[in-house]
């Protein structure tokens, strides 16, 4: 009996020692044992999507502060540069029942705001990442002849949310290539106009600007340990 009790106590003591050793090796994200590394980067961005069913290209850029080569937070800005082939002609009925004709119009879209993300296994030459762009902007018509926005014609303030998954390629300690794909969700589009028959018609809808999208970014910054 004594031998059995002694054996059980020995086993329990051994398990306790192993558990104590495992606990001492546990790592915590908010532990002072892990030094905090802070760097940053800037990036030109090219995005491919669709607007009102037409292929569209947007260009812009962003910059962010990078923590421990994993988490980043910063800001971005994007604007469409190529939309429909051919200009839009729009006839609007005014308050005095006169008919205004607007020509040379192109659909334009621009937005900017918060840029956040997480990079997984950033030390690997090829690795994955996720990010999200959360911001506001404007959708409306641009006069391609006078090169100005028509703020009084189909101009809307919008909210834009663009999550995406990405693959990154470490080229050097200061340069990475990022290729991503996701979905751009746009809300707040509700501007209307009165057509020649006196009926209210929408300029755009949210679905005109919400679209699957792909992007390529060139990241320049501090990516070394």
Q: What is the mean pLDDT of residues 108-136?
A: 95
Per-residue model confidence (pLDDT) at position 37: 87
Of the CA atoms within 13 Å of residue 172, those in its CB half-sphere come to 6
173-187: b (≥16 Cβ within 10 Å) or e: eeebebebebebebe
In angstroms, the Cα distances linking 46 to 57, 76, 80, 175, 222 are 7, 12, 10, 16, 21
Long-range contacts (CB closer than 8 Å, 24 or more residues apart) made by 150-155: 150/102, 150/105, 153/90, 153/92, 153/102, 153/105, 153/193, 153/203, 154/90, 154/191, 154/193, 154/203, 154/204, 155/191
Q: Give dist(CA 199, CA 220) in Å, integer.
A: 52
Per-residue model confidence (pLDDT) at position 20: 45
User: Tokens standing for 127?
Assistant: 């690795």
Q: Give dist(CA 94, CA 99) in Å, integer.
A: 6
Length of the chain: 225
pLDDT digits (tens, 9 = 90+) for 28-41: 444 555 678 899 99
pLDDT digits (tens, 9 = 90+) for 165-204: 999 999 999 999 999 999 999 999 888 777 767 777 888 8
Q: Give dist(CA 111, CA 217) in Å, integer.
A: 17
Question: Domains of the chain: which residue ranges?
Answer: 37-221
Which pTM was predicted? 0.77
37-221 is a CATH 3.30.450.40 domain = no
User: Tokens standing for 145?
Assistant: 């002849």
Residue 24 backbone dihedrals phi, psi, to 5 degrees: -70, -20
Q: Give dist(CA 66, CA 42) in Å, integer.
A: 11
pLDDT digits (tens, 9 = 90+) for 80-102: 865 555 567 777 776 667 777 77
């Amino acid at each position: 009996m004594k031998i059995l009790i002694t054996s059980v106590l020995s086993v329990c003591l051994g398990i306790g020692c192993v558990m104590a050793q495992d606990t001492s090796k546990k790592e915590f994200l908010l532990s002072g044992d892990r030094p905090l590394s802070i760097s940053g980067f800037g990036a030109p961005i090219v995005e491919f999507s669709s607007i009102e069913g037409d292929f569209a290209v947007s260009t812009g850029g962003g910059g962010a502060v990078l923590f421990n080569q994993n988490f980043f937070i910063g800001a971005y800005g994007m604007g469409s540069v190529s939309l429909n082939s051919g200009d839009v002609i729009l006839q609007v009925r005014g308050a005095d029942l006169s008919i205004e004709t607007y020509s040379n119009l192109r659909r334009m879209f621009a937005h900017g705001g918060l840029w956040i993300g997480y990079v997984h296994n950033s030390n690997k030459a090829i690795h994955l990442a996720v990010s999200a762009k959360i911001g506001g902007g404007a959708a409306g018509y641009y006069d391609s002849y006078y090169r100005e926005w028509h703020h009084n014609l189909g101009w809307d303030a919008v909210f834009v949310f663009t999550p995406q998954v990405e693959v990154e390629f470490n080229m050097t300690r200061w340069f990475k290539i990022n290729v991503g794909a996701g979905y751009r969700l746009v809300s707040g589009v509700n501007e209307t106009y009165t057509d020649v028959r006196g009926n209210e018609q929408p300029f755009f809808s949210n679905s005109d600007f919400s679209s699957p999208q792909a992007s390529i970014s060139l990241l320049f910054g501090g990516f070394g340990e």
